[in-house]
Amino acid sequence: MSTQDLHELGVAGLSAQLAAGKVSSVEVTQHFLNRIARHDSLGAFLATNAEVSLAQARAADARLAAGERTPLLGVPLAHKDVFVTRDFPTTAASKMLENYRSPFDATVVANLASTGMVTLGKLNCDEFAMGSGNENSAYKPVKNPWDASCVPGGSSGGSAAAVAARLIPAATGTDTGGSIRQPAAFTGITGIKPTYGRCSRYGMVAFASSLDQAGPMAHSALDCALLLSAMASPDPDRDSTSLDLPVIDYASNLIAASAGEAGATPLKGLRIGLPTQFFGAGCSADVLAAVRGALSEFEKLGATLVDVSLPLTELSIPVYYVIAPAEASSNLSRFDGVRYGHRAADYADLTDMYKKSRSEGFGDEVKRRIMIGTYVLSHGYYDAYYLKAQKIRRLIAQDFQTAFTQCDVIAGPVAPSVAWKIGEKSSDPVASYLADIYTLSSSLAGLPGMSIPAGFGAGGMPVGLQLIGNYLKEGQLLRAAHQFQLATDWHQKAPGISA
């Protein structure tokens, strides 16, 4: 393969080329750095450092030359700018953290670096990961590579746009209420949010601590499997919510399962539940058509479709937008202008410094959520709002457990529409909140979920199929997605981005 076409390869493809000695990590890294520079107008990157990236590539080449062969060695990626990094600034796309440099790497970053992956830079996102369209970045909005007038989804929109445009083969993202799955769907890539606690949150700038979870975004389920095995690890000393479970080799399991499932119906016996609440009038016809087409393909692969119910789905939006802002209000109180972050230049006293530093440092959406969170946690309202929301959250989780007695995997649309125009929902925050209706409930329950490309809808924009599994069933989701992608080519479609 010509080095001019390296961006067409995903993680697995690049790994094979590197292991065979057909290309060096330095060549791969320089190729992607060149593409990033040429397509800066997408707004996907907030920081790059060619010197750092090429030094990491040279180190990877030395390991390859010494005979080391591991799946991710020498393969490049980039990180959502909510993961702290020593070699790149970490801003969380906020003026509050402009030019901040962390003295350490997040656990997810360190885990991937230990495999020999090369970091190409930091990716744009909604400020402090708060948003559904990546329009809330303090620096610049991210554009959807399929149509630059549309949003790429959020908050991991920079990650999604960069992978879709083939500026990078893979990226890290975070999912609090759907922020991996929704942008993956809007840009036609694959993304998975693992079970809450599967990946350490240490070094991940906090939004809502009981919901935030890291996950990979890439071309395919196989690529995501390779990344997730490296990202996930117990981290009990630094993250009390980290699950103390052994690391699973998801990719090897996929390959072994595929070899043992040769035939026309590799998914025979898999029961896919279709919640009636996900297929109602609230979902646009073009999205439903693509999703139904993908589900028909799963039937051809041997899966059985069964109707299930998640009756509290409609309550997931009010529950989420009580709990998440409440936790954000608490987490973001640390940005006070005293220890680190933005400090106002002129102030009369300590209280005035707090007010001005936070007013100047935070954007409108972050301020809105802090205000909501502070309100629901205040005296007289805690029981009426926050405590009640937590009780309903438990009931939502129980709904899923009831559904899983009837099925193995739950499927449906990721979002009720394809990507909307930039600015279309800026004046109506609630409209963008409603775009998360199909992803919020599984986040509240802490369940794993993923988005896989399933076709195209209005305006030729990508549509994603969502798969939700029971706790710790990431392997089952990846297996189903992998078999679907072996039988289809939606995940290989790319926007018309020049070389």
**Residue 31 backbone dihedrals phi, psi, to 5 degrees:** -60, -45
Active-site annotation holder among 24, 53, 159, 179: 179
Counted residue by residue, the chain has a size of 499
All residues at 6 or more sequence positions from 400 whose CB lies less than 8 Å from its CB, including other chains: 310, 410, 441, 442, 445, 447, 468, 470
Please give the Cα distance from 122 to 79 (Å, whole number). Answer: 5
Q: If we measure between CA atoms, which residue out of 217, 235, 200, 216 comes closest to residue 84?
A: 200
Q: Is 229 a catalytic residue?
A: no
Contact 159, 175 (CB under 8 A): no
Contact 429, 452 (CB under 8 A): no
Tokens of 402: 């009831």
Residue 15's H or E segment, with its range, is: helix 11-19
Residue type, 15: S
Please give the Cα distance from 303 to 332 (Å, whole number). Answer: 45
Q: Is 179 a catalytic residue?
A: yes
C-alpha to C-alpha distances, 56 to 26, 86, 170, 218, nearest whole angstrom: 9, 13, 16, 21
Q: Is 140 a catalytic residue?
A: no
Active-site annotation holder among 53, 80, 94, 143: 80
**Residue 253 backbone dihedrals phi, psi, to 5 degrees:** -65, -40
Please give the Cα distance from 75 to 119 (Å, whole number). Answer: 9
Cβ atoms < 10 Å from Cβ of 49: 16
Q: Which residue has the tokens 């041997």?
A: 302
Coil, strand or helix: which one is 119? strand
- C-alpha 223, offset from chain centre: 14
Tokens of 126: 């909604």
Contact 103, 89 (CB under 8 A): no
Active-site annotation holder among 102, 155, 156, 357: 155
Q: Which residue has the tokens 């007038």?
A: 149
Please give the Cα distance from 25 to 65 (Å, whole number). Answer: 11
Please give the Cα distance from 170 to 164 (Å, whole number). Answer: 9
Residue 379's H or E segment, with its range, is: none
Please give the Cα distance from 199 to 223 (Å, whole number). Answer: 17
Question: What separation, in Å, do the N-terminal and C-terminal C-alpha atoms of the chain show?
Answer: 15
Tokens of 360: 């100047």
Tokens of 260: 């043992």
All residues at 6 or more sequence positions from 8 whose CB lies less than 8 Å from its CB, including other chains: 166, 494
Please give the Cα distance from 69 to 348 (Å, whole number). Answer: 60
Strand partners, 196: none
Which residue numbers are catalytic?
80, 155, 179
